[in-house]
């Protein structure tokens, strides 16, 4: 395929488009040194591949799906990512918001990302058992249904193998420790590598 050079951003001519991670505190590295976080570990990993690919961490602690939606167009325009790793919804759920709201927001983020030419990996999260089985099942179904509807690679639970291990969780019981970050990355990698394949 031939591409008019004038239509391609300058950085795209010299290196692959980056991966953009749009998430909350679980991806922002809350409570740990930023370089220890799974997103930075991903940056180090992709930086050693040939060709090297950058990772932009646009995650903010406390971020909701509404906040992500408010920021996504500017991020897409600025970074022109090849892939968006979408890790949002936990803070909506922890606030007990009706799940129709994050569903609508995530749908719009996916649509805008695709319109900008980026693939999307959807990352799910679980919430504490005291929220009740109906709400917890609804959140699981939200991620599963969106992945099915848009045919997206899905990470069902970002903290699989981590959340129930006290040694891998901070004292708040919500955020993983630095020692847990390689496992968190391992949970994301299969879906991410699938999405980055030509």
Q: Which of 7, 15, 25, 137 is catalytic?
A: 25
- Please tell us whether the domain made up of 21-196 is placed in CATH 3.10.20.90: no
79 is catalytic: no
Q: Which of 24, 79, 113, 175 is catalytic?
A: 175
> What are the backbone dihedrals phi and psi of residue 71, each rounded to the nearest 5 degrees, phi first?
-100, -20
Taking all residues of the chain, what is their mean pLDDT, rounded to a whole number? 92
| CA dihedral sign, ordered 40, 108, 72, 30 | negative
Over residues 164-193, the pLDDT tens digits come to 999 999 999 999 999 999 999 999 999 999
Lowest-confidence pick of 9-23, 42-56, 169-183: 9-23
| pTM for the full predicted model | 0.91
Q: Which of 6, 7, 50, 172 is catalytic?
A: 172
Flag whether pLDDT at 74 surpasses 70: yes
25 is catalytic: yes
- State the Cα–Cα distance between residues 163 and 173, nearest whole angstrom: 8
């Amino acid at each position: 395929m031939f591409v008019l050079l004038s239509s391609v951003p300058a950085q795209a001519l010299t290196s692959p488009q980056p991966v953009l991670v749009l998430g909350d505190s679980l991806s922002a590295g809350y409570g740990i040194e930023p370089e220890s976080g799974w997103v930075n570990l991903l940056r180090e990993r992709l930086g050693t591949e040939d060709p090297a690919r950058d990772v932009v961490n646009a995650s903010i602690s406390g971020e909701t799906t509404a906040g992500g939606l408010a920021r996504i167009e500017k991020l897409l325009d600025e970074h022109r990512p090849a892939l968006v790793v979408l890790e949002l919804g936990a803070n909506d759920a922890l606030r007990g918001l009706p799940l129709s709201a994050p569903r609508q927001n995530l749908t719009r983020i996916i649509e805008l990302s695709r319109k900008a030419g980026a693939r999307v990996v959807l990352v799910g999260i679980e919430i504490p058992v005291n929220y009740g089985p109906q709400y917890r099942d609804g959140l699981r179904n939200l991620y599963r249904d969106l992945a099915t509807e848009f045919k997206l690679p899905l990470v069902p639970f970002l903290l699989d193998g981590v959340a129930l291990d006290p040694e891998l969780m901070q004292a708040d019981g919500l955020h993983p420790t630095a020692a847990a970050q390689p496992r968190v990355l391992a949970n994301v990698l299969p879906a991410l590598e699938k999405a980055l394949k030509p």
